[in-house]
Amino acid sequence: MTDTAPVDLVLSSTPAAGVRLLCLNRPEKRNALSQPLIRSLLSALSNASADDHIFSIILTGNGPFFCAGADLNDIATLDEAGARASRYLEDLCKGFAAVKKPIIAAVNGPALGGGFEIALMSDFIVSAEPAYFVLPETKIGLIPGAGGTQRLTAAVGKYRAMRSILLAERMTAEEAMAASLVASVVNPDNLTQRCLEMASNFTAANRQTIEFAKQAICRADDLGRDDGFERDLYYTAFGTDEKKRGVDDFLTARRKKA
């Protein structure tokens, strides 16, 4: 199954049952985020999210780069009013946030600026060994604008985030792993396979449970423990077939071991 997005922007395929692979495909521009690419990516994410046969999404880049961030040709002439009117960073954040299914960023190469922020918007980051992460915006008179300041700080702490953002300091894949930002670091040849192994945990049988858990985790930074959002999802899960089947299977297996 493929999306209708132009092939020079986003490629879409199903490398395994229940998995949608999205590939940023502007290798000649280091997969820089042009506005057409962002629109195509958001459309592909929306389509995958609405497809009942898809249970997880893998996002990667074509060529040596994962994503070099915003296409500077698009933003060079923007003033404040033009930047606000473009809405593309706002739409990008909202588009990722609307996806209830797990998104795995398969970072095949350098993730710069907005490319790093896209990885941070994902639910898991699996990185190839040569990849690195950097937010260079302060070097060109900007700051991260797609949630990078908040997400990176939440992930690695204030002082490491200061180094990454104020100093535009590069973070290697191994450093990102040590900071718990990256779930796994692998040989480039094994990147897709490792992501597919992770994606195999998400199936039709646990679709609702995974969606509930992801929603609760994503709201954790915004809500206190007494807010009730997690508790409401917890109670809702009791009404699903997944809960009944999961508990019954567990108790049956335990009785067999007894």
From the candidates 5, 69, 131, 137, give the one annotated as an active-site residue: 137
Among this protein's residues, is 114 annotated catalytic? yes
Among this protein's residues, is 253 annotated catalytic? no
**Quick one: three-class SS letters along the chain?**
CCCCCCCCCEEEEEEECCEEEEEECCHHHCCCECHHHHHHHHHHHHHHHHCCCCCEEEEEECCCCCECCECHHHHCCCCHHHHHHHCHHHHHHHHHHCCCCCEEEEECCCEECHHHHHHHHCCEEEEECCCEEECCHHHHCCCCCCCHHHHHHHHHCHHHHHHHHHCCCCEEHHHHHHCCCCCEEECHHHHHHHHHHHHCCCCHHHHHHHHHHHHHHHCCCCCCCCCCHHHHHHHHHCCCHHHHHHHHHHHHHHHHHC
Among this protein's residues, is 137 annotated catalytic? yes
Cα 103 from Cα 20, distance rounded (Å): 10
From the candidates 32, 44, 68, 70, give the one annotated as an active-site residue: 70
Among this protein's residues, is 70 annotated catalytic? yes
From the candidates 61, 95, 114, 115, give the one annotated as an active-site residue: 114
From the candidates 44, 61, 95, 117, give the one annotated as an active-site residue: 117
Rounded to the nearest 10°, the torsion over CA 75, 81, 86, 89 is: 80
Cα 59 from Cα 237, distance rounded (Å): 28
| Residues marked as catalytic | 70, 114, 117, 137
